[in-house]
Amino acid sequence: MSQVDSKRVDRSVPTDARAEPARPEDGTASGASVAILDHTATLESIREKVVAGERLDLEDGLQLMESDDVLALGELADLARRRRGGNDEVYFVQNLYLNQTNVCRVKCKFCAFAVTQKQEGAYTYTAEELVEDALRQRELSGFTEIHMVGGESPHVDFDYYVQIVSQLHEAMPDVHLKLFTASEIHHMSKLGGLTHEQVLRELRDAGLGSLPGGGAEVFADRVRRLVAPGKEHPDNWFDVHRTAHGLGIPTHCTMLYGHVETYAERVDHLLRLRALQDETGGFLAFIPLAFHPENTVFEQRGWKHTAASDDLKLIAVSRLLLDNIPNIKAYWIMMGLPLTQIALHFGANDVQGTVVREEIFHAAGAQTETEQKIDELVRVVREAGRIPVQRDTLYNELRRWDD
């Protein structure tokens, strides 16, 4: 066992919420180092399970997370993807990113996007302003999806959200509206004195098509209390998604990794998502999101970006454990295009989208472009040896480039 491995053998999900966030070198998952090619043999029993089509368990997940043989993980994940019916197709969607407000009451410690109402740069757009903006953008780009999330502003009411959905839907009935995280849905239920089901029914009837996966962070109580103490309990995240699935609203799921969480907490997070998917089948895709420390308190404490090897490991382990979620996204806006190309060989089959404007990861220091044209995404996917397929939000094929 290498020195790096020896720091990671605590397999319990810690419950001590009083501890301050540890520095990466203290043995948290974010202290991952560059791949070391060794002990492939330790993955042999997992390979046998993958080949036999057997489900991997908690112990397997921990073993995968603790492995520094990143190339072997990638090969195993790609094998699992293919054995479950995956082929060379790689999806992307043409989408517009909007944020309705950056005013937020929650104050997550990892967030560089939120402000208070009185701070400089605070904004809350009306439904009319959002429609006007979207229509203007549509003249420049033929997006098929609007992805919109924002802060949990205490200065709006539930009708504000209903108006946004209904006016966007009315103005662009052919555009899929993927709006609002589970945290925002929970916030709306508080604003309106409604249940999650009542909120979701009303938004669905106004034109909501699906939910993005944000707000999940890492589900473990310990992590939650350290990085997002003001955020609602993860049970609410699950209740919103379970309720949405029951109402025929598909959703996405995420994990924000690379801060204070341990490998055990990562695996626990993934297995909780898998359990809900077993129950409802309503998740379209899983998107691992690497933590960007710039402009957050973590930057002052010395946090760095996750290592590329850790990003690839997350993609691979997600693919291996989430055997019932069909799509794993390599979010290029966070990873950059070269690493995204490699991720396509580590189990990812989706590169997200053309993404016109993205503010949240860029507020936290993402250096990537905020937009890629279709031609560029097609080139990137082709260069990775895969077939680019433009999709709609529900993974219906719109166009393919296999000539």
Residues that bind ligand SF4 (CB under 6 A): 104, 106-108, 111, 113-114, 151-152, 183
Dig out the tokens for 113 from the structure. 């996007």
Please report how many Cα atoms fall inside a 13 Å half-sphere around the Cα of residue 294, on the Cβ side. Answer: 10
Q: Min. distance of Cβ 99 from ligand SF4 in angstroms?
A: 9
Q: Min. distance of Cβ 101 from ligand SF4 in angstroms?
A: 9
Instruction: Give the CA diameter of the chain.
Output: 60
**What Cα–Cα distance (Å) separates residue 129 from each residue in 49, 112, 119, 125, 154?**
53, 24, 21, 6, 20
Cα torsion at 320, 351, 36, 325 (round to 10°)?
-10
Q: Min. distance of Cβ 20 from ligand SF4 in angstroms?
A: 19
Q: Min. distance of Cβ 109 from ligand SF4 in angstroms?
A: 9
Q: With respect to ligand SF4, which residue has the nearer C-beta, 188 or 322?
A: 188
Q: Min. distance of Cβ 113 from ligand SF4 in angstroms?
A: 5
Q: How would you list the strands of the sheet with 387-391, edge to edge? A: 350-353, 89-93, 387-391, 397-400
Q: Min. distance of Cβ 142 from ligand SF4 in angstroms?
A: 29
Q: Min. distance of Cβ 107 from ligand SF4 in angstroms?
A: 5
Q: With respect to ligand SF4, which residue has the nearer C-beta, 113 or 143?
A: 113
Q: With respect to ligand SF4, which residue has the nearer C-beta, 107 or 190?
A: 107
Q: Min. distance of Cβ 323 from ligand SF4 in angstroms?
A: 29
Q: How would you list the strands of the sheet with 251-257, edge to edge? A: 251-257, 283-290, 327-328
Give residues with Cβ within 8 angstroms of 182, minimum separation 6. Answer: 211, 214, 215, 216, 236, 237, 240, 241, 251
Dig out the tokens for 7 from the structure. 């720091």
Q: With respect to ligand SF4, which residue has the nearer C-beta, 99 or 393?
A: 99
Q: With respect to ligand SF4, which residue has the nearer C-beta, 231 or 319?
A: 231
Q: With respect to ligand SF4, which residue has the nearer C-beta, 111 or 328?
A: 111
The DSSP code for 365 is T
The DSSP code for 248 is T
CA nearest 145: which of 67, 224, 209? Answer: 209
Task: Provide the H-helix boundaries in 88-233.
Answer: 127-140, 158-171, 182-192, 196-206, 221-227
As a whole number of angstroms, the distance between CA 216 and CA 291 comes to 13
Q: With respect to ligand SF4, which residue has the nearer C-beta, 109 or 400?
A: 109
Q: With respect to ligand SF4, which residue has the nearer C-beta, 143 or 238?
A: 238
Task: Provide the H-helix boundaries in 34-69.
Answer: 44-52, 58-66
Q: Min. distance of Cβ 21 from ligand SF4 in angstroms?
A: 16
Q: With respect to ligand SF4, which residue has the nearer C-beta, 360 or 381?
A: 360
